[in-house]
Amino acid sequence: MNRGQMLTAMKEDVDRLTQPFRHIEKTDTGANYIGHHLGLFDQFRLELTESTKNKEDNGPRKPAGSKPPMADKHLELMIFITKSIRDMALLTVGRTARYLEESLRDILTACLRSDERTVELCYKSVSEIRRRLEELLTWEIPPRKLNGQCPICTNKNTLLVYMDTYGPIYAICTHCHSRWDRDVLGILAGSLESENTEKNVD
């Protein structure tokens, strides 16, 4: 991906993380169902802070509530997100903002003036934050492993393709973290097809 494509993909990821969005799914009858959802950060916060409630108590005072213990996977992801955004903010802006959303928008703005290497580092980091959040919040269909080698780092069996109800969304290499979004997935498919053709010829 070139610099412009990385910036476009990063803006899409930042929007999904920080802003409400619509999600379209096919029902059993084939009709489209449109759901309206909070940004992924707010969904994650709700999952972290939701308390149990005593629905039988209708008095004027709220019943005592207890928060469920934070699971290790939630704590690990929260630390990863905080550290990743802090590192990107210090690299591009020189400071961190009060809120994650504000920091991400500052980072995206700063990347418009940054060199390609910095853009690539931030793009990969934001992409990984979104991927891990969507996986934890069960937004994604489990990824499917692709047979063949990554055309960037040449490692084998490291390619995963992520799907939604309409087909492939993007593919990533778990080794070098290269990513192919929907509009360039055909390039990856062509590379894998050429590789298989060469094997058959041999």
> Which residue type sits at 25?
E
Q: What is the pTM of this model?
A: 0.63
pLDDT value of position 63? 44
More confident residue, 140 or 17: 17
Residue ranges of E strands in the chain = 21-26, 32-37, 141-146, 159-164, 167-173, 179-181
| 95-139 pLDDT, tens digit each | 888 889 999 999 999 999 999 999 999 999 999 999 889 888 876
pLDDT digits (tens, 9 = 90+) for 4-21: 999 999 999 999 999 998
In three-state secondary structure terms, 119 is helix
Distance, in Å, from the CA atom of 143 to the CA atom of 164, rounded to the nearest integer, reads: 10
For residue range 43-82, list pLDDT tens digits in order. 888 877 753 344 344 444 444 444 555 677 888 899 999 9
Tokens 């629905």, residue located: 55
Q: Which domains does the chain have, with CATH numbers?
A: 1-47+72-139 (no CATH), 141-202 (2.20.25)
Sheet holding 179-181, edge to edge: 141-146, 159-164, 167-173, 179-181
